[in-house]
Amino acid sequence: MQRRTFVQGLGLAGLAGGLGLLPGMSFANPANAVSVDSLPKLKGDLTLYLGRGEGGLYENVLEAIKKKNPGLNLQIRRGATAELANMLVAEAKAGVKRADLFWAVDTGSIGMITNQGLAKPLPDDVVNQLKPGFQYPMWSPVTGRIRTLPYNTERVRADQIPDSVMALADTDLKLGWAPAYASFQSFVTAMRILEGEKATANWLKGVNSKAKKYAGELGVVMGVERGEVDLGFANHYYTLRLKAGKPDAKVDIAYTKNDAGCLVNASGIISLTEGDLPINFIRYLLTKEVQSYLATEANEIPLVAGVAPPVGLTPLSSISPPDLDLRKLADIRPTLDLMRNVGVL
């Protein structure tokens, strides 16, 4: 996928004054989604810890925010989300305060920080902008992602795929997975919480006996499309991104029902310091412009009402995800121990 950048100098949708428009952006005025032009200017010093991910698209958002707000001195520390979360906890224990915001690509790391009491509460107007099910008082989801089963359309029919993720360990399908990938480990954490450790261990053993291992979930989807495996485990946007660049790709998405296989997870941001500046920064991420950009370019799910979802994705209303507080995904250590004990990691 070609990386897009902001178009400068346009005045539409309140983006004059240095913040360019995002390609493919919607200019509708959906309920509960505000424009950047309605927000106060950001002035002062902010340090953001940014979890790596999404092919630089988050960086595009940050660059646009800085151009819109020349009075903002934004310092960014980049790293793997889990590593940054551990760093924040260690800094807090040492009495060191370096970060004002933490933008994480998974809720497990978010839960780690909120469980440590490091997050500052969000005002009601920020929380209430988000869709039901994604409203949390101590952190703000930014975009959503669904666990899916990408499958090769020439090797497998949709009606051959079980609607239970647990049943896949007992099928004859050739599977692909990326067990070292953070999103996969969050999925296994959800399975462990929902199904119990014994059932999860048995599932991991069963899948491990027939699965091809990939370094990441884009690799899983590409392996599925090449026919190396019949079906894989991946977040939805990897398949949509592949199909966007290759419309005739031999891959489609299947969903399970009411289990970890269709978990709806989210990227999210936490304010770590008091004051208006970090809160107003979060407001920028929830604007219709940023949400539309991430839906269009990153194929992520907008979580503010009125912004169109990615093309090709089944609506959330038609999916049956498990009822699970995403903050529980912070309990990752037992998951890693379990995966090591059964020989997956």
**Both structure tokens of 158:** 């949709």
The more confidently predicted of residues 308 and 231 is: 231
> Mean pLDDT over residues 285-293, rounded?
95
Phi and psi at residue 310, to the nearest 5°: -60, 145
pLDDT of residue 56: 73
Please give the Cα distance from 191 to 185 (Å, whole number).
10
**Both structure tokens of 216:** 């990441």
Residue 286 above 60 pLDDT?
A: yes
Please give the Cα distance from 53 to 87 (Å, whole number).
18
Please give the Cα distance from 313 to 304 (Å, whole number).
17
The more confidently predicted of residues 133 and 218 is: 218
Among the ranges given (23-37, 113-127, 277-291), the one the predictor scored with the smallest mean pLDDT: 23-37
Residue 2 above 80 pLDDT?
A: no
Burial class (CB in 10 A: 0-12, 13-18, 19+), 163: middle
Beta-carbon count within 10 A of 75 CB: 12
Strand, coil or helix: 92: helix
Among the ranges given (101-115, 133-147, 241-255), the one the predictor scored with the smallest mean pLDDT: 101-115
Residue 31 above 90 pLDDT?
A: no
> Mean pLDDT over residues 214-236, rounded?
96
Could you tell me the pLDDT band of residue 332, with boundaries at 50, 70 and 90?
confident
Is 238 annotated to bind a ligand? Reply is: yes
Please give the Cα distance from 260 to 118 (Å, whole number).
28
Residue 70 above 90 pLDDT?
A: yes
Residue 233 above 60 pLDDT?
A: yes
pLDDT of residue 53: 60
Strands (E), the chain: 44-51, 72-79, 101-104, 140-152, 175-177, 211-213, 231-232, 234-235, 251-254, 264-271, 301-302
The more confidently predicted of residues 19 and 126 is: 126
* 156-197 tens-digit pLDDT: 999 999 999 999 999 999 999 999 888 899 999 999 999 999
> Regarding beta strands 234-235 and 175-177, do their DSSP bridges make them parallel or antiparallel, or are they unpaired?
unpaired
Of the chain, the end-to-end C-alpha distance in Å amounts to: 30
Bridge partners of 104? 268
Phi and psi at residue 39, to the nearest 5°: -95, 155
Please give the Cα distance from 196 to 18 (Å, whole number).
51
> Mean pLDDT over residues 210-237, rounded?
96
pLDDT of residue 54: 56
The more confidently predicted of residues 13 and 196 is: 196
pTM: 0.82
| 12-144+266-314 against 145-263+319-341: fold identical | yes
Bridge partners of 49? 77, 102
> Mean pLDDT over residues 24-34, rounded?
47
For 12-144+266-314, the fitting CATH number among 3.30.70.20, 3.20.20.80, 3.30.420.130, 3.40.190.10 is 3.40.190.10
pLDDT of residue 181: 86
Q: Provide the residue type at 99 as one letter.
A: A
pLDDT of residue 32: 64
Among the ranges given (1-5, 67-71, 145-149, 234-238), the one the predictor scored with the smallest mean pLDDT: 1-5
Which residues make Cβ contacts (< 8 Å) with residue 171, sequence separation at least 6?
Answer: 162
CA nearest neighbour of 199 among 149, 165, 176, 175: 165
Delimit the domains of the chain by residue range: 12-144+266-314, 145-263+319-341
Among the ranges given (5-19, 113-127, 198-212, 219-233), the one the predictor scored with the smallest mean pLDDT: 5-19
Please give the Cα distance from 14 to 101 (Å, whole number).
25
Burial class (CB in 10 A: 0-12, 13-18, 19+), 172: exposed
CB 288 within 8 A of CB 230: no
C-alpha to C-alpha distances, 225 to 94, 149, 256, 300, nearest whole angstrom: 48, 12, 20, 21
pLDDT of residue 326: 82
pLDDT of residue 99: 97
pLDDT of residue 55: 53
Residue 45 above 90 pLDDT?
A: yes
Q: What share of the chain is helix, strand, coil (3-state, %, to 5)?
A: 40, 20, 40
Topology of 145-263+319-341 in CATH? D-Maltodextrin-Binding Protein; domain 2 (3.40.190)
Beta-carbon count within 10 A of 315 CB: 8
> Mean pLDDT over residues 321-344, rounded?
90
Q: Provide the residue type at 315 as one letter.
A: P
Strand, coil or helix: 130: strand
Averaged pLDDT score across all residues of the chain: 88
**Both structure tokens of 248:** 């005739």
